[in-house]
Structure formats: structure tokens, C-alpha cells
Structure 1
Amino acid sequence: MDWVERTAKLRQWTRSGARAPHKPLLLLYALGRFQRDADGELPYSAVEADLKRLLAEYGPPRPTTPAYPFHHLVSDGVWEVRTRHGLGSPGTKVRELREEGAAGRLAPELRAALRRDPSLLGRMARVLLDLNFPPSLHEELCAAVGLELEPAEAERFATVRRQLRDPGMRGRVLEAYGYQCAFCRFDGMLGKVPVGLEAAHVRWWAFGGPDAVDNGLCLCSLHHKLFDKGVLGIGDGHRILVSQAFAGRSDAAREYVGALAGRAISGPGRGFSPVAAAHRDWHTAQVFRGDAPPAEAV
């Protein structure tokens, strides 16, 4: 059985490019727990808070519940749920999962395969990350679920990922935006080499976002991470949005984030296409965390 292929083909709700990373997040979490305790179960009542936090931080902006993936991942053959009555999930209602003492863990065949081939865990994790999240979030997501990937293995799969994507996109996007962050205008160079500048996909590559300038922004490392986390977005007139959910007490937080609200994006230069409305709308619906408050209220 090809577990990596099965991982890549998890059945997920999808419509018009909507994100539904519920199952991938649960499976990543389960792989992290297996790495620490190969024989342990995950009682729903004990892990509900962890799963809810992961969905809130890495899932789509719309409200959701960890009960859905806990129940529905069973249908993909990689997960099992037991209650005090035996094998089988009681459903998707939180109350039932709690009251029936539901506990989940990786399917027996998968656990056996992971014991036979320890490298399988890393390959499955990399597929889940690549197909559901932008690279800027991979490292912190692994830390959030307690996954430790071998450095050599992570580099090997990063090489594969670069071959799948257009390696020229970064250069084109940085050139289009004059080698400065479109949000804060940071333009660091080490000699003649740009530093701290990255090409951000507006519509994530994992969700059909093309390697094209009209789906890219030149952003500094900080603003790229905040853009992919939904703290920052793009509104009408290509003006910067700041999420109402963002809070920061320091002057730095106000200067580098809050003060961006309503500011026009810098670039791209003449001859280059600005961010396409379809990609901007996808990011607003699937990543950005809510409407922006008035600039004076940030």
C-alpha cells in the first residue's frame, strides 16, 4: 500500500478553491504524537483544545470544529476511532465524542508501516505540508504539532518542491517590485544580493496559485509571514488590510503592522501586472482574518 499516495489523496471538502485543511492538520498532529508515543491513543476530550487551536491558527477564517476531522478521517483509511463500546466513531457531534470516550489513533496498518520504515513519517508529513500550506508556515507548523523532520530529509523534499515550482518566479517578482517590500518598502542588499526579501504567492501554490507576477508580491520576511498567517491582506484599490484580530502593545507592532492599514501597496513597476483580482479575492476569503478596522482605530 502506498501510504504517501493515500496521504496526498485525502478526501477534503472543496468548492471554488476553498481551504479545508482539517484532515491534514489532524493527521500531522497524529504523526507528531506517534513520533513521541507510537502506542498511545488520542482521547478526543484530551486533544480537543490542541486541535481547535491548530484549526484557528492554520485553518480558514470561517468557524469550524475539530470534531469533523476526528470523525471523517476514518473514511480515508489512515485513522481509527474507538469508544467504550468498541471500534467506530459516534459521529461529528462534540458532545457525543466526549460522552462516549472517543479516542483516535493512526490505523493499525499505517502504524505497522511506520515502524517498518521510519522515513515514511517524514515523507507523509512533507506531502501534507506541501499540498496544504505555503512554505513560510512549514517550520512553525511542525513545531506546533510536535513533528521533528530530519534536516537531510527536509532538504531532499525541498529540492523536489523547487523542481515542481517555477524557480524563476522569485526573480521576476522581486524585479517587478523594484527589490523592495510592497508593504514597508524595505530594500536590504548584501553587496548586490537582495536579503530579507521573498516572493509571496497571493493565492497559495497548493491551491492552484500560479507562479506568475500577477499572483505575487515582493515582501520582507516579516510581512510575508504575516500575509500568509492572515494578519495582512489586500483590499480595494490595492490597499493594505490589517486584521481586527491583530493586537500588539509595542511601538514596533504599531509601526510595522498597525500603521500599514490603508496604505497603498508599493509597485509593481511599469510593464508588470498588479495582483489579479481573482487571486486577491481568494486570499481575502481563505486566509485574511476578517475585515480591517479604520486606520485610526488600529
Structure 2
Amino acid sequence: MDWLERIAKLRQWSRSGTRAPHKPLLLLHALGRFQQDPDSGLRYSAVEEDLQRLLTEYGPPNKTTPAYPFHHLVSDGVWEVRTDSGHGSPGSGVRDLRETGATGRFAPELRTALRREPELLGRIARLLLDLHFPPSLHSDLCEAIGLELEPAEAERLATMRRQRDRRMRELVLTAYEYRCAFCGYDGRIGTVPVGLEAAHVRWWAFGGSDDVDNGLCLCSLHHKLFDKGVLGLDDGHRILVSQRFVGHSPAAREQVIALAGRPLIGPQPGVCPVAADHRAWHTNQVFHGTPRPATAA
């Protein structure tokens, strides 16, 4: 059985690029637990808080519950649920999962495959990360779930993934004249830019193109905060800063909070700015919370 193909084809609610990372987050959490103890299951009442925290931090802005993937993942053939009274999930209701002692774990055949092929766990994890999250969040997410991965395998599962355009980084950095579009940082070592990255506005994993009008040149800090939903863009190409972000140090105020309401730096004349549909996708699917009011100059 090709477990990678099955994982890549998880049934997920999807419409117009809507993010639904519930099942991938549950699977990643379960992989982390399996790595620590292959024989343990995930009792819903014991992991509900951890799963909810993952959904809040790495899921879309709308409210959701970890009960949904805990029950519905069974239909994908990679997960099973047992209760105190026997086999089978009691449904997707939070109360039902709590009160029946519902415990989930990988399907028996998948558990066997993971024991037989130790490298399979890492390949599944990397596939889930690549398909559902931007690279800037991979290490943070692995740390949050206690998942340890070996360095990336040479095989990149090209048959399951679109190929990225390697020219995008250079095109985007050139478009923004090698400056962070949020803060203006333009550090170099000699002639080589350092700490500058090409950020996808609409994530590549969700159909975002490698075109310049879907990119921003951002420093490493602001790229991470943009992908975490702390920073965003309004319709006037001004910077949004979420009220969820809290920082009392002068550095936090100057580097993040003070950005609220500032216009983007760039792109240079003649280059297409970020397209409206990509900005709207990021605002609806990534940006969290209410924007802070614009900071006085």
C-alpha cells in the first residue's frame, strides 16, 4: 500500500483555497507521539487541549474544534478510534469523545508499516508539512509537537508536488530592490543579501503562484510573522498588525507594533504590486485577530 499517496489525498473540505489543516495537524501530532512511544494511543480528553492549541496557532482564523478530525480521519483509512466500550468512534461531538474515553491511533496496517520502515515516519511528516504549511513554519511546528526529523531526504516526492520556480526569489528581491517591504532592512555580506527572503502571499501549498505579484521581499523576522498571521496587508497596501501580538520591549514595539498602518516599501516602478486576490486570501486564511490602529508617525 502506498501510504504517501493515501496521506496526500486526505479528504478535506475545500473551496476557493480555504485552509482546512485539521487532519494534517492531528496526523503530525500523532507522528510525534508515535516517535516517542509506538504503542501509545491518543485519548481525546488528554490531547484535546494540545490539538486545540495547534489549530489556533497554525489553523485558519475561524473557530474550529479538534473533535472534527479525530472522528472523520477514520474514513481516510489511516486512523482508528476505540472507546471504553469497544471499536468505533462515537461521532464528532466533543462531549461524546470525552465521555466515551475515545482513543485514536494509526490504523493497524500503518502502524506495522511505520515499525517496518522507520524512514516512513519522516517521509509522511515532510509530505504533510510541504502540502499544508509554508517552509517558514516547519521547524516551529515540529518543535510544538515534539517531532524530530532527519535532514531532508534527497528524494523530494516530485510526483506528488508541483515544482517551484527557482527564479522567484531573485525576481521578487529585485522587484523590491533587495529591501524588506515592511521595515526596509537591506543587509548584505559583500554583495550577497543576508536575511532577506521571498515570501508567498498566497501560500504555494494552496495554489499560490511563483509570480512576482504573489511575492514580497521580507526579512526573516517579518516573513515568519507574516506566515504566522501576525502581519498582513490591507486593500491599500498598508501593513496590518494583529492585536494578538504582544510585545513590551522597545525592539518589539519598533520592529512589529510600529508597522501598523505603514505603506509597503516597493515594489519599484513598473513592477506589479501584490494582486488583490492574493491579499484577500492571506487576510481570510492566515491573518489572525483584529488589526491594530495605525501608529502615529
Going from structure 1 to structure 2, the CA distance change for 1:14 and 1:118 (only over 3 Å counts) comes to same
- C-alpha contact (below 8 Å) 1:200/1:217 kept by paired residues: yes
What is the SS of the residue equivalent to 1:63? coil
One-letter amino acid matched to 2:229: G
AA matched with 2:33: R
Q: How many residues align?
A: 295
Structure 2 residue aligned with 1:2: 2
Distance 1:150 1:16 in 2: 34
Q: CA deviation at 1:90?
A: 0.5
Distance in 1 (alpha carbons) for counterparts of 2:150 and 2:291: 40
Is residue 2:154 matched to residue 1:156?
A: yes
2:75 corresponds to which residue? 75
> Counterpart of 2:273 in 1: which secondary structure?
coil
Per-residue CA deviation, residues 108-146 of structure 1 (Å, 9 max, x unaligned), is 000000111111111111110000000000111111111
TM-score by length of 1: 0.96
**1:148-187 equivalences in 2 (<5 Å):** 148-151=148-151, 154-156=152-154, 164-187=163-186
Aligned-partner Cα distance in 1 for 2:276–2:4: 35
Give the Cα separation in 1 of the matches to 2:270 and 2:292. 33
The correspondence of residues 1-298 of structure 1 with structure 2, limited to 5 A, is: 1-151=1-151, 154-156=152-154, 164-296=163-295
Distance 1:157 1:255, change over 3 A: farther
Q: Is the 8 A contact 1:126 1:157 kept in 2?
A: no
Aligned CA RMSD, in angstroms, stands at 1.5
Mean CA deviation greater in 259-268 or 84-93: 84-93
Deviations 1:66-109 (A, max 9, x none): 00000011010111000011111101111110100000011100
* Identity in percent: 73
Instruction: Give the 3-state SS of the residue equivalent to 1:237 in structure 2.
Output: coil
Instruction: Supply the AA of the counterpart residue of 1:227.
Output: F
SS for the counterpart of 2:217 is: strand
Alpha-carbon separation, structure 1, partners of 2:94 and 2:187: 50
Q: Give the Cα–Cα distance (whole angstroms) in 1 for the partners of residues 87 and 30 of structure 2.
A: 18
Q: Cα 1:15–1:162, aligned 2, differ >3 Å: closer, same or farther?
A: closer
Seen in structure 2, the aligned counterparts of structure 1 residues 162 and 71 have a Cα distance that, compared at 3 Å, is closer
* Unaligned residue ranges in structure 1 (runs of 5+): none
Amino acid aligned to 2:154: R
Aligned 8 A contact 1:242 1:258 in 2: yes
Normalised TM-score (structure 2)? 0.97
Question: 1:58/1:110 Cα in 2 relative to 1: closer, same or farther (>3 Å)?
Answer: same
Paired residue type of 1:246: F
Worse overlay, 209-218 or 154-163 = 154-163
Deviation, 1:290, is 2.6
- Once the two structures are overlaid, the 10-residue window that deviates more, 159-168 or 139-148, is 159-168
Q: Is the 8 A contact 2:261 2:295 kept in 1?
A: no
Query: More helix by proportion, 1 or 2?
Result: 1
CA distance in 2 between counterparts of 1:194 and 1:104 reads 47
Deviations 1:192-229 (A, max 9, x none): 00000000000000000000100000000000000000
User: How far apart in 2 are the matches of 1:221 and 1:104?
Assistant: 37
- CA distance in 1 between counterparts of 2:40 and 2:180 reads 46
* CA distance, structure 2, for counterparts of residue 42 and residue 212 of structure 1: 42
CA contact (8 A) 1:169 1:212 kept: yes
Counterpart CA distance in 2 for 1:155 and 1:261 is: 40
